[in-house]
């Protein structure tokens, strides 16, 4: 089970985001904000106040997601498995909230002992269950949770952002 709250705290993630910031992207205001925000941390992207600039945060997340999908950022380069790299833009969006979020908002319904369930527009079932300290996210009603985080609302946003990640294009023969 992946601890989504730890994603942005890894030193390798800070290095990845710093590299992207230094190499630049089209929106110079977002780039300048990111470089300043990173300078104010102790090599911990989790300390960046993403929620103060949701528009810039979304630009950073979109740019980073594009680099990962296009293979311009490799998992070998940063010592993390590819799935973990995909979590970085997701957690930037979740942490920033608001306009930084991509994709659809699910219609979450109460389920079980304080949990929630929803079905995405493509028919995928999502379940959030837990307690005060840990909330687990289960995809497609598997028999075990796939992800965990610190709050029910955060778990819901993570599920929505996981669903919003563009799926790889199938290759036809």
Of the listed ranges 17-31, 38-52, 85-99, 159-173, the least confidently predicted one is 159-173
**Where a domain ends, among 45, 79, 100?**
100
60 within 8 A of 96, measured Cβ to Cβ:
no
Lay out the sheet containing 135-139: strands in order across: 2-3, 147-149, 135-139, 125-130, 115-119, 109-111
Rounded distance between C-alpha atoms, residue 123 and residue 143, angstroms = 18
> Of the spans 52-56, 66-70, 110-114, which averages the highest pLDDT?
52-56
pTM: 0.89
**16 and 96 in one domain?**
yes
**76 and 45 in one domain?**
yes
Alpha helices in 41-149 (DSSP H): 54-69, 75-78, 82-96
Pairing of strands 115-119, 125-130: antiparallel
**88 and 12 in one domain?**
yes
Pairing of strands 147-149, 2-3: parallel
Residue 94 lies in a domain: yes
**76 and 116 in one domain?**
no
The model's pLDDT over 154-171, given as tens digits with 9 standing for 90+, comes to: 999 999 999 998 876 544
Cβ within 8 Å of residue 35, ≥6 positions away: 21, 22
**138 and 93 in one domain?**
no
The CA-to-CA distance between both ends of the chain, in Å, stands at 35
Tell me: pLDDT of 68 over 80. yes
Number of folded domains in the chain?
Answer: 2
**7 and 82 in one domain?**
yes
Full residue range of the structural domain in which residue 36 is found: 2-100
What is the reported pLDDT for 105? 95
Task: Provide the CA 122 distance to its chain's centre, in angstroms.
Answer: 20
Rounded distance between C-alpha atoms, residue 125 and residue 64, angstroms = 27
**Where a domain ends, among 54, 69, 100?**
100
Rounded distance between C-alpha atoms, residue 79 and residue 134, angstroms = 27
């Amino acid at each position: 089970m992946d601890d989504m709250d730890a994603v942005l705290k890894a030193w390798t993630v800070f290095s990845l985001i710093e590299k992207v910031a230094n190499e630049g992207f089209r929106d110079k205001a977002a780039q300048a904000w990111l470089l300043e925000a990173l300078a104010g941390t102790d090599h911990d992207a989790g300390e960046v106040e993403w929620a103060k600039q949701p528009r810039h945060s979304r630009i950073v997340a979109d740019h980073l997601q594009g680099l990962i999908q296009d293979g311009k950022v490799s998992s070998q380069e940063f010592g993390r498995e590819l799935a973990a790299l995909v979590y970085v833009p997701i957690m930037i969006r979740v942490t920033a909230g608001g306009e930084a979020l991509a994709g659809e908002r699910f219609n979450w319904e109460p389920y079980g002992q304080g949990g929630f369930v929803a079905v995405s527009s493509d028919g995928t079932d999502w379940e959030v269950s837990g307690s005060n300290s840990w909330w687990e996210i289960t995809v497609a009603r598997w028999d075990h949770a796939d992800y965990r985080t610190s709050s029910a609302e955060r778990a819901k946003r993570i599920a929505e952002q996981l669903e919003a990640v563009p799926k790889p294009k199938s290759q036809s023969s």
